[in-house]
A and B are shown apart, each in its own frame.
Chain A
Amino acid sequence: MDVGNSARANDDWLRELRLPSPESNSVLEDLRLILFRGLKFALSKYSSISEAHIEDFVQDSILKITDKLDTFQGKSKFTTWATKVAVHHALSQMRRKHWQDASYDELVERSEFRPDRFLADRNNPERIANQEQILKVLHNIIYQDLTEKQRESVLLEYFHGLPKEAILSKMDMNRNAFYKLIHDARKKIKNGLEEAGITAEMVAGNFDL
């Protein structure tokens, strides 16, 4: 696929994209081709994504990009910035679609943290004892020290890998508030481990981190 005038400088992209039609038609077509190719590379590992899906993502992304041209600060290439917008949009859509039918309550239940599931089956009693001690403290912190919302968020984020979009829609939060919730939970867990005399070295050493 040959991209037309793709060697524009950032200012040229901005100027041409702000022009009324028909002058902007060629720049929109160039942008479409670049985003299409970029998304093909970006999403190549997702086998369920077809070229038709990519085309839809590109069309939506062009609208987003032209709407937010004023937020582009020129600190990267325009094409990298535009591709970032497209990649973000595509992955958000893919995650939403993947998780839209999942039962939130079931996922929360399945995300329960049971330390016994995580003990390594190795012939090293001392190591197993250390792991047991660390996981027991971790379990106590998660279930006794975290708030209900913090616990739910940590379990869904780390134990189930549920994407933020799915959690946010159920918890009625924006992603920055969610990140703060998780960050506060991680700080609380880290402090709790330290207070229990469990150092970062002990955790890393016993779990091969």
Chain B
Amino acid sequence: MTEHQDAVLGRLLNAILKTEPEEINCDECAELLDQYVEHSHSSDTVPQELLKIKAHLESCHCCQEVQEALEAAVQGMQESGNSNAS
């Protein structure tokens, strides 16, 4: 099995194993993603409401790609001091 095939199969099997009876959809994930990313960059405990994003991200590579990019943006902006204080 090649590395690519390994990754492809692993992604499918992981998604199957982590499937929950009820999951949020892409729009609901997108709605909460900014809050989720901010919490992941703080020392605060992630609220229960935001934890449901995790299951979605593990099975949706498009939303996961947005999350990773937003994480990179938030981290970069925090480090360069360009985030607003609210």
| B partners with A | yes
A: residues with CB less than 8 A from B are 3, 6-10, 13, 34, 37-45, 75-81, 83-84, 87-88, 90-91, 95, 117-121, 154, 157-159, 161, 163-165, 175-176, 179-180, 182-183, 186-187, 189-190, 193, 200, 203-204, 207-209
The binding surface of chain B is classed by DSSP as: helix
A80-B83, A88-B66 in contact; A190/B73 too (CB < 8 A)? no
CB contacts (< 8 Å) of A159 on chain B: these are 8, 12
Q: Is B46 an interface residue when CB atoms closer than 8 A count as contact?
A: no
Q: Which of A3, A13, A42, A158 contacts B73 (CB 8 A)?
A: A42
Q: Mark B5-36, 1 if CB is under 8 A from A, else 0.
A: 11011111111110101010111001001110
Q: Mark B53-69, 1 if CB is under 8 A from A, else 0.
A: 00000011110011001
Taking CB as reference atom, which chain A residue is nearest B2? A117
CB contacts (< 8 Å) of B60 on chain A: these are 179
Q: Tell me the complex Cα distance, A39–B8, Å.
A: 28
A76-B35, A183-B19 in contact; A43/B1 too (CB < 8 A)? no
Could you tell me if B59 and A186 are in contact, using CB atoms closer than 8 angstroms?
yes
The binding surface of chain A is classed by DSSP as: helix
Could you tell me if B25 and A207 are in contact, using CB atoms closer than 8 angstroms?
no
Q: Is B80 an interface residue when CB atoms closer than 8 A count as contact?
A: yes
